[in-house]
Amino acid sequence: MQPEEQKQLLIQQIADMMEDEAVALAKQMLAEGYPPLELLGHCREAMEIVGKRYETGEYFLPELMLAGEMLGSIGEIAKPLIDQGAGTKAKGATVLIGTVHGDLHDIGKNIVSFMLDINGYNVIDIGIDVPVEEFIRNIREHKPVVVGLSGFLTLAFDSMKETIQRIEAEGLRQGMKIMIGGGQVDETILKHTGADAYGMNAMDAVNLCKNWIPA
């Protein structure tokens, strides 16, 4: 098979959730000397197709999960073959995301992180039950253009409000957009927290970021 055919097949197999075939083909290509960085680029192309299929309602959470696994497996094989200092494609604007304090839920946040990542954003995911100070510290360090506050429980509404008030009080709000999402968040909760926008799902988060700043 010609490299171009291999490339197309790999992209198709990942996008079509053919895990065993895709991982085997990637292994074979690398063994035959296919440039690892290029191969990872193809994986990213496949992820974009997966993302589009998620956007259009063809794919759902299980497919995103499996796509992530495939990317992980292929990455594990490819990365040791990459020359140090070769560098990878520069990432776009930085989005900082975390689940607010008191809330241990992460599924929604993880999907948003995943979708932002495959849409080219530089996602800094700082985990669950994140104290206000931790958000502030990370904002200072990473200087994100968008901050995403996630929360599933109703207690998260006040944690979001508190986090946003602190961001303002620290003088960090200017030039930054804040989006919230998860659980029962709606228009009323948006006003309550003082965020710039809310989203009902991961695609909303991507679209908000795209409107605010292209990746």
Partner 1 sequence: MQPKRADANSGRTPAQLLADREQRLLAAVQLERPDRLPTALFAHFWISRYSGLTNRQAMYDYGRLGAAVVKAVSDLEPDAYVPGHNVMAFGPTLDLIDYRQLEWPGHGGLGDNVPYQYLDREYMTVAEYDEYLRDPTGFMLHRYLPRAANAFKPMAMLPNYPSVLHTRIPQSLAVYANPEVRQLLQTLITAGEEMQRMQESGAKIVAELKAAGFPLALHATCGAPFDVASDYLRGSKGAMLDMFRNKDKLLRLLERLVELLPANAIATADRNQGKFIFFPLHWGLDGFMSPQQFETFFWPPLRRVLVGLIDLGYIPVVFWEGDCTSRLEVIADIPPGKAIYMFERSDLKKAKKILGNRVCIRGGMPVSTLITGTAEQTRDTVKRLFDEIGDGGGYILDSGVGIPDEAKHENVVAMFETAKECRY
Pick between residue 24 and residue 65 the one whose CB is nearest to partner 1.
Answer: 65
Pick between residue 134 and residue 172 the one whose CB is nearest to partner 1.
Answer: 134
CB of 94 to partner 1, least distance (A): 26
User: What is the DSSP pairing of strand 197-199 with strand 146-150?
Assistant: unpaired
Instruction: Give CA–CA dist 40/36, Å, rounded.
Output: 6
Interacting residues toward partner 1 by CB under 8 A = 17, 19, 58-62, 65-66, 69, 102-105, 107, 129, 153-155, 157-158, 184, 186-189, 191-192, 200-201
CB of 178 to partner 1, least distance (A): 18
Pick between residue 118 and residue 145 the one whose CB is nearest to partner 1.
Answer: 118
* SS3 (DSSP) at 174: coil
Return the HEC string of 99-144: EECCCCCCHHHHHHHHHHHHCCCEEEECCCCECHHHHHHHHHHHCC
On whether the CB atoms of residues 179 and 123 are closer than 8 A, the answer is no
Pick between residue 35 and residue 75 the one whose CB is nearest to partner 1.
Answer: 75
CB of 108 to partner 1, least distance (A): 10
Q: Please, which residues have CB within 8 angstroms of residue 161's CB and are 6 or more apart in sequence? A: 192, 193, 194
CB of 98 to partner 1, least distance (A): 16
CB of 57 to partner 1, least distance (A): 8
Pick between residue 19 and residue 170 the one whose CB is nearest to partner 1.
Answer: 19
Q: How many CA atoms lie within 13 A of 1 on its CB side?
A: 13
Closest CA to 95 of 195, 206, 211: 206
Pick between residue 135 and residue 157 the one whose CB is nearest to partner 1.
Answer: 157
CB of 85 to partner 1, least distance (A): 34
